[in-house]
Structure 1
């Protein structure tokens, strides 16, 4: 099942994407079920009864609940309460950039907030006062469905509701600090800012994803293939990251974990910031960082394509 949020008549609604249609369960739900479909987090928290009710609505294909996809605007499929982020989680990405002393030895832990989130086709703002080196990173995002603390790795995937795509937009000139041969990262201003977390276009439920370590990821910028890899190349698996973050927090429905990006970033061609581009068959090296007018496509197998355009900040 593919969960979406959409706007119709100026109101944001929860729905299910199926082919070229969006199913609006509020139009077919019984009165006692309507609270479950108020938004994505309410649906996740409601658990099995809500899923059973939604399965029934979808299977019946009630005409009054079906909307044409072209008649609605998709937004971010949820507004996560917290986005827990793991950097430096692909070996090939670590090989292409300047690294800190802990790169690839433990997950780089930083946080984005809901203030960073935008949806499909929304604009990534280019604000020269913040950064002139805006880079994009396609990442698999894990949506937590069941609460837990100190979750063992072998039980971790039981806590997953589904998976979506996040573009971890990064201000590289705010991130990378270098002095006397020593490198460190500033992961506050470089990672958490307005429009730095495009999210969507849908959440594919865990039952349809299967193994999250067997998914292809791709990034295209203006049609050029910049990233192409598989989640099998992660250093720490989704299950291991769930365990890792659950040591710090009780993971709750509505939280999200993003899992790092593979090689092919613009950083790799930026020698000034320690970039080390390595030719890869099929991939086009960046000649610059993102600029207004660029179209970014972040694709993950079984989820879809998240498309955003860079626009100048006013």
Structure 2
């Protein structure tokens, strides 16, 4: 199920993506109840616009969303119009998770990209991914928003398509076999990089310059659409 956030007439709403359309959950629920459907998740007066409410491990919200999707599929012929079903071109799609506390990425975890960079591909048994972070408050952007190219090195911007795991249940010291139970869902993220950031071309070399140039090139505003 592809839960999504979108804006319509200045209001942020929640729905799910279905056959290149957006189905609004709140108006769908109103139709469901008017046709005799039972109360779901406490018969909400207002639907939360946080997608995590409708994803595991929130069993009640997840069950409600799935039940409404089943209802929609069974009655699509009479529900396939506004305000329940909306064309994607008529709404503004928003980033699926509005305010994540952390945005953690992995570097060098894709063998072909490692080879493309000229580095040796290590044996997975004897290595570990490089973790780094991007500030979510300034790097995450909504779909179709512009990426701000830095004036310091405009010809050095690169990008990589990433599969992003959205964490729904927190924890520490999690066993590998239990890890996926903490994942609420998946989305797509673009990791944008400034590959040749050097703010002071007159600087004297230092041992960690290469690493920090690489890291700082990950942090520009809008570099995680």
TM-score, normalised relative to structure 1: 0.55
Q: 1:113 & 1:58 partners in 2: Cα distance?
A: 34
Map of 2:223 onto structure 1: 196
Q: Could you tell me which residue of structure 1 aligns to residue 33 of structure 2?
A: none
1:63-120 Cα offsets, whole Å, 9 max, x none, are 35322222112121122221111101122222222559x9983221111122211122
Report the alpha carbon displacement of residue 48 of structure 1 after superposing the two structures with TM. 1.0
Q: Where do residues 1-314 of structure 1 align in structure 2 (5 Å cutoff)?
A: 1-29=1-29, 32-33=43-44, 37-44=48-55, 47-61=58-72, 63=79, 64-79=83-98, 80-97=100-117, 105-114=127-136, 115-129=138-152, 132-174=155-197, 184-186=210-212, 187-198=214-225
CA root-mean-square deviation: 3.0
1-side partners of 2:66 and 2:208: how far apart?
Answer: 55
Pick 1 or 2: higher relative contact order, CA cutoff 8 A, min separation 6: 1
Larger radius of gyration: 2
**8 Å contact 1:36–1:50 — kept in the other structure?**
no
In structure 2, the residue corresponding to 1:4 is in which secondary structure?
A: strand
Structure 1 position 35, deviation (Å): 5.5
SS of aligned partner of 1:168: strand
Indicate how the Cα distance of structure 1 residues 180 and 91 shifts in structure 2: closer, same or farther if over 3 A, else same.
farther
* TM-score, normalisation: structure 2: 0.74
Partner of 1:206: none
Of Structure 1 and Structure 2, the greater helix share is in 2
Most deviating of 27-36 and 6-15: 27-36
